[in-house]
Structure 1
Amino acid sequence: MDFLDATRRGYDATAREYADAFHHHLDDKPLERAMLGAFAGYVQATGNHRVADVGCGTGATTAILHDLGIDAAGSDLSPGMIGQAKALNPHLRFAVGSMTAVDSPDASVGGVCAWYSTIHVPDAVLPEVFAEFRRVLVPGGVALLAFQAGEGSRLLTEAFGVEVDLEFRRRTPAFVTGALDSAGLAVFAEAVRAAEPGGIESTPQAFLLARRVAAVTR
């Protein structure tokens, strides 16, 4: 898939600079940390404390979940980002991998965290990705998604002085909720934080919690 190659190349080329700029971006984000805390609580309630943190980047969310008592393991398309994650969090587990084929057995994890990682996935591939989330979750397992809320996309051709080809897709919570529901993941909580004018987060930020249900809606 072309988008996988483009995403991998873009983050490989900027992994060190990205880590320097954003690894601690959640330190002063109380809503985001609250969503991760709620997710951790729901995962613990399943009795299975394992979480697949897909598209983990530098491992910032993996580390927060670990500190909340979750057995979190991170995966990312970019070997460069995984290298940064291992260096910054040597006590945690990370591996190169794709959310289009999660490297976990069926019904093996209590949670899947996709923290701003589905934003690079085309609409046509979302059903495949969400089906993978459902596959690896235990019955009643929980998925957490964070993404930019809105419509349309932004093509980034330069980052940290390096040429890249990264497409950031904005989606409405209603659209993502519908796609999750079709995959057998029922959304039970939603939060949207307003945009910060003039800042790097110039669009609203959305957070969804969904639970694996018994049957897939068609």
Structure 2
Amino acid sequence: MGRVSGFLEEVRASYDTVAEAYAERVPAPGALDPLSRGVLGAFVEEMAGAGGTVLDVGCGPGKVAGYLAAGGVRVVGLDLSARMVGIARRAQPEVPFVVGSMTALGVRAGALAGVLAYYSTHHTPPEHLPAVYAEFRRVLAPGGRLMLAGYVGADGDGGGGEGERLRHTEAYGGLPVSYESHYVPPERIVRLLEAAGLTVTARLVQEVESAKGAKRRVGTFLAVRPPAGTSPRAG
């Protein structure tokens, strides 16, 4: 994969550390709340009907990729953490998994029917999101679909702010980590996706309560890469 630096190195090292604990604690798609299951299920149904390959970016231990595969989607999982990829390969031997970064996907332009970024971009500093979203667009075929889901921040001043930033030192049972989480306002995410050349077709923001009672806003965004010669428009 080459040398990883900066925030990517922090994320990679941290998830290598917590990989087994993460895999034990993070629920499978079937255990999600009904609304999240419904949106993810709709994406699976659409991608299974479309044919082509979907890349699950930041696939972790492979639970979501396995759910896609069970729904008839041709899926490849990609994660920065080699230990996560190892767990995914053992858990889902029928699905191909590779080590890689969402900043450089290693996929030829226009090769994918879909990209899924499911709770995998919130460790990316906001200043790096334009490059990440542009990479998602690059690998999508015209008409290809992106589903982006994860934690988001408050709307703030019309969504123009960078949102909330948290520095973590431990996670998943007290294991040591060193990364930041960035909770970008939904309107800011929409503008960045559209600036990258994607048309946002749907967005959903919901309040989700964890098993410990903590509440966090979750945003889900569906977008499409328009055919050449068309202009993205607001969703």
Match in the other structure for 1:40:
44
CA distance in structure 1 between the aligned counterparts of 2:39 and 2:70, rounded to whole angstroms: 14
Superposition map of 1:17-166 within 5 A: 17-24=21-28, 26-44=30-48, 47-150=50-153, 151-159=163-171, 160-166=173-179
CA, structure 1 residues 23+84, in 2 after alignment: closer, same or farther (shift >3 Å)?
Answer: farther
Pair 201,144 (structure 1): closer, same or farther in 2 beyond 3 Å: farther
Root mean square deviation of aligned Cα: 1.8
Give the counterpart of 2:19 among 12, 15, 20.
15
Deviation at 1:23, TM superposition (A): 4.6
The answer to whether the 8 A contact 1:26-1:32 is kept is no
SS in 2 for 1:124: helix
Letter in 2 for 1:165: S
Partner of 1:212: 225
Distance 2:214 2:108 in 1: 36
Q: Distance in 2 between matches of 1:212 and 1:23?
A: 30
Please name the residue that 1:194 is paired with.
207
TM-fit CA distance, 1:30: 2.1
User: Structure 1: 5+ residue runs without aligned partners?
Assistant: none
Residue 191 of structure 1: how far off its partner (Å): 1.2
Q: Call closer, same or farther: CA 1:69–1:14 in 2, change over 3 Å.
A: same
TM-score normalised per structure 2 = 0.86
- Secondary structure at the counterpart of residue 207 of structure 1: strand
Deviation of 1:201 (Å): 5.2
In structure 1, C-alpha distance between the alignment counterparts of 2:46 and 2:208, rounded to whole Å: 27
CA deviations on 1:44-65 (whole Å, 9 max, x unpaired) are 45x4431010000011111111
- Residues 23 and 85 (structure 1), Cα distance of their counterparts in 2 relative to 1, 3 Å cut: farther
The amino acid that maps onto 2:81 is: S
Which of 1, 5, 8 in structure 2 is aligned with 1:4?
A: 8
Cα 1:142/1:201, change in 2 over 3 Å: farther
- The Cα of 1:199 is off from its aligned counterpart by 3.2
CA deviations on 1:155-186 (whole Å, 9 max, x unpaired) are 11012232211211111211100000000111
Q: CA deviation at 1:103?
A: 2.1
> SS of 1:69's equivalent?
coil
In the aligned structure 2, how far is the partner of 1:87 from the partner of 1:195? 30
Q: Percent identity?
A: 38
Pair 1:92–1:179, CA change in 2 (3 A): same
2: distance between equivalents of 1:193 and 1:37? 17
Amino acid at match of 2:164: G
2:184 equivalent to 1:168: no
Q: TM-score, normalised by structure 1?
A: 0.92
Residue pair 2:59, 2:78 contacting (<8 A) in 1 also: yes
Cα distance in 1, alignment partners of residues 212 and 191 from structure 2: 30
Alignment-derived partner of residue 178 in structure 1:
191
